[in-house]
Copies of this chain bind each other. A is one copy, B any other.
Amino acid sequence: MNRYESLAADLAESIRTGLLRPGDRLPSVRQTSASRGVSPSTVFQAYYLLEARGLIRARERSGYYVAARVARLPPEPDAASQPNEDTVLLDMSDRVFDLLGSTMDREVVPFGSAFPDPLLFPLERLARLVAASVQRLDPWSTVDSLTPGHAPLRRQIALRYLVDGLQVHPDEIVITNGALEALNLCLATVTRPGDAVVVESPTFYAALQSLERNGLRAIEVPTSPREGIDLGALERVLARHAPKACWLMTNFQNPLGSLMPEAKKRELVELLARHEVPLIEDDVYGELYFGNQRPAPAKAFDRKGLVLHCSSFSKCLAPGFRIGWVAPGRYAQAVARHKLSTTLTTAAPMQAALATYLEKAGYDRHLRRMRQALASRQGAFIEAIAKHFPPGTRATRPAGGYFLWVELPAPADAPAIHQHALSHGISVAPGPMFSASQAYANCLRLNYGYAWDARTEAALATLGRLAGT
């Protein structure tokens, strides 16, 4: 346990024992820093962590307070899902598209949205950089800087890998139209129609759509809401179905928010390597951690070039720019060729602008602010769920990202709740979207990443009422 975790544990203990009571103001960061002999940033980290766990709340310009009703926070969901580990041919039909349509209306409270609050991003600064980059753009670069992408951006991404302890050469990196294109290129590179592919259960619906579009069979493997995919189950599936790829989200999984511990990631990579199965790692939420440092991707433990690490700037810096990338290990050339013959290359001005932004080092400051906002919003959100949702409700408490997975007391009909909620101007993402077999009818994925205000709390109260009927 490092310093901030130790400080957080002490404070949590004080809250549990009643030394600090609901509504009490915590000592200021400056006071605690002095009294504990730790840096202010350590205190901030500890406070963020407690906030993410719903134990304390920030009030603007007046400090941190012990949260109300701590005792009533909903419990976390059970250990792991129990999907049928057989292969399934998919039929995602219209339900995903209908849901997505409903979340794009800005008048609707966006609990069902897949996107973070657009006001969290440094859009003005980015706009200035785009302007400057385009004005400096070498006309010839539109001809000769094609696939696999703008060299300075690939270098900046490689440098960020390095900071996180990974050696990824810029030449390995392919810039894509967002992470979704990266994931699709990887899938097309390592599979052929009819192949089986391992996914988590529940899993990101776009993975199911991609499998369906490519004529692939899905194998859904049990996944813990806290620690990700069940490796025992995965091992059985590898032996039984000889899947051609594994598509996982190792950090703050969508929809669960689960975070695979480092040791487990290492085990995962070794297990897949023994079977020579490539891992398509979707790591778009990795930068949105509430702890002390970025959780490593599984790619960090790859020795055989079998991990295709996909990420993007869409969730953490520049939504709408559609800049993602993949570091595809031994598949780098094959992925670049798929990119060349599907979308050729990615918009040059967007790439140049992001390269400049990353180089000028505003990124980490922005990310710290964004993580703090998300952690704080999660705390408020979980508290309100405790207050407004029916008894027996469970909810995950992810250590990053902006999704909660809520299990309603059975029987519940999430698609029906979604329809009722929409008629009240509220969207949710119903559980069956995240499952090839349309399981999880009693579950909802909720986006807690938008500004917390009276309207949000009222919407959550309405949703809790609908969930209980």
Spell out A's residues near B (CB within 8 Å).
97, 100, 104-106, 110, 113, 115, 118-119, 121, 123-124, 126-128, 130-132, 134-135, 137, 139-144, 146, 177-178, 180-181, 184, 188, 193, 206, 209-210, 213, 215, 319-323, 337-338, 340-350
A308–B350 CA distance with the chains assembled, in angstroms: 28
Q: Determine if B341 and A321 form an interchain contact, defined as CB atoms under 8 angstroms apart.
A: no
Selected A-B contacts with CB under 8 Å, 16 pairs: A100-B146, A113-B143, A118-B140, A118-B143, A130-B134, A130-B349, A142-B319, A177-B344, A177-B346, A178-B345, A181-B343, A184-B342, A188-B213, A193-B215, A209-B341, A213-B342
- List B contacts of A350 (CB < 8 A): 347, 349-350
Distance in angstroms from A321 CB to nearest chain B CB is 6
With contacts A123-B137, A135-B131 known, is A344 near B320, CB below 8 A? no
Q: Determine if A347 and B347 form an interchain contact, defined as CB atoms under 8 angstroms apart.
A: yes
Q: Determine if A146 and B341 form an interchain contact, defined as CB atoms under 8 angstroms apart.
A: no
Number of copies: 2
Distance in angstroms from A114 CB to nearest chain B CB is 9
A105–B144 CA distance with the chains assembled, in angstroms: 6
Q: Determine if A144 and B104 form an interchain contact, defined as CB atoms under 8 angstroms apart.
A: yes
Distance in angstroms from A255 CB to nearest chain B CB is 17
Residue on B nearest A113 in the bound complex, by CB: B143
Q: Determine if A143 and B343 form an interchain contact, defined as CB atoms under 8 angstroms apart.
A: no
A341–B338 CA distance with the chains assembled, in angstroms: 17
A213–B123 CA distance with the chains assembled, in angstroms: 38
- List B contacts of A180 (CB < 8 A): 341-344
A126–B126 CA distance with the chains assembled, in angstroms: 17
Distance in angstroms from A369 CB to nearest chain B CB is 15
A140–B350 CA distance with the chains assembled, in angstroms: 18
- List B contacts of A178 (CB < 8 A): 343-345
- List B contacts of A322 (CB < 8 A): 177, 343-348
Q: Determine if A144 and B106 form an interchain contact, defined as CB atoms under 8 angstroms apart.
A: yes
Q: Determine if B137 and A100 form an interchain contact, defined as CB atoms under 8 angstroms apart.
A: no
Distance in angstroms from A105 CB to nearest chain B CB is 7
A71–B216 CA distance with the chains assembled, in angstroms: 61
Q: Determine if A141 and B320 form an interchain contact, defined as CB atoms under 8 angstroms apart.
A: yes
- List B contacts of A106 (CB < 8 A): 140, 143-144
Distance in angstroms from A232 CB to nearest chain B CB is 31
Residue on B nearest A178 in the bound complex, by CB: B344
A271–B175 CA distance with the chains assembled, in angstroms: 42
- List B contacts of A121 (CB < 8 A): 139
- List B contacts of A342 (CB < 8 A): 180-181, 184, 210, 213
Q: Determine if B146 and A118 form an interchain contact, defined as CB atoms under 8 angstroms apart.
A: no
Other A-B contacts than A100-B146, A184-B342, 17 sampled, CB-CB below 8 A, are A97-B340, A104-B144, A104-B146, A113-B143, A118-B143, A123-B137, A127-B134, A127-B137, A177-B343, A177-B346, A180-B342, A206-B341, A213-B338, A321-B349, A322-B346, A347-B347, A349-B349
